[in-house]
Amino acid sequence: MICAQVDTFKRSKTIKSGFTLIELLVTIGVFSILASFISLNLINPHKKASVDTQVQTLVSDIKSQQLVSVEGEAGGSPTSQKHGIFVSAGKYTLFTGNAYTPLDPNNFDVVLEGDLQLSTTFASSILLFEKISGEVTNFTSGQNTLTLTSPSGGLNKTITVNPYGSISVN
């Protein structure tokens, strides 16, 4: 009888503790799904910030071109000249004069970050400001937007310029 009690006592102490394989796999699966959501949420704000930064730079360049059309360039010629922006897919070019000349050494190219694309409804892809008044040359309603797109982020910002050069961003 004492042997039977000792044997029962030994069996009660040998209870196995821990997790089963199924419990471990479910836990790892849940953590993997959570990690993928977190990484996606960390990437999207970076893309939005990149688009927002590029829009701010473009708006600043547009205002700068308009300002030098009105006031003339500091340290440059005493008379003001027309200034404008030529838009192409992955960049835009700041230029001086009545028309965009691709080989002009005074042109300044601004290359867009990453996969950002720029498109426009302006005629000939040119936004040109009149000297002294700063108004948009040959303004046509409906042909007054620049659109910055991030294909990978699905983001889209539209810059609208009115006849007087005032800018709004949507």
Q: Give domain status of residue 15, yes or no.
A: no
Question: Could you report the per-residue pLDDT of 111-137, keeping only the tens digit for each?
Answer: 998 889 999 999 999 999 999 899 999
Q: Give domain status of residue 101, yes or no.
A: yes
What are the phi and psi torsion angles at 67 (to 5°)? -65, -45
Domain count, the chain: 1
Q: Could you give the maximum distance between any two Cα atoms of the chain, in Å?
A: 117
Where does the pLDDT of residue 5 fall: very low under 50, low under 70, confident under 90, or very high at 90 and above?
low
Q: Give domain status of residue 2, yes or no.
A: no
Q: Is the pLDDT of residue 105 over 80?
A: yes
Instruction: Please state, in angstroms and rounded to a whole number, the distance separating the CA atoms of residues 76 and 72.
Output: 7
Domain residue limits at 47 = 26-169
Q: Give domain status of residue 5, yes or no.
A: no
Instruction: Please state, in angstroms and rounded to a whole number, the distance separating the CA atoms of residues 137 and 129.
Output: 5
Q: Give domain status of residue 50, yes or no.
A: yes
State residue 2's pLDDT score.
57
- Name which residue leads in pLDDT, 54 or 46: 54
Q: pTM, whole model, 2 decimals?
A: 0.74
Burial class (CB in 10 A: 0-12, 13-18, 19+), 51: buried
**CATH number of the domain where residue 96 is located:** 3.55.40.10
State residue 50's pLDDT score.
85
Q: Give domain status of residue 20, yes or no.
A: no
Q: Give domain status of residue 82, yes or no.
A: yes
Q: Give domain status of residue 113, yes or no.
A: yes
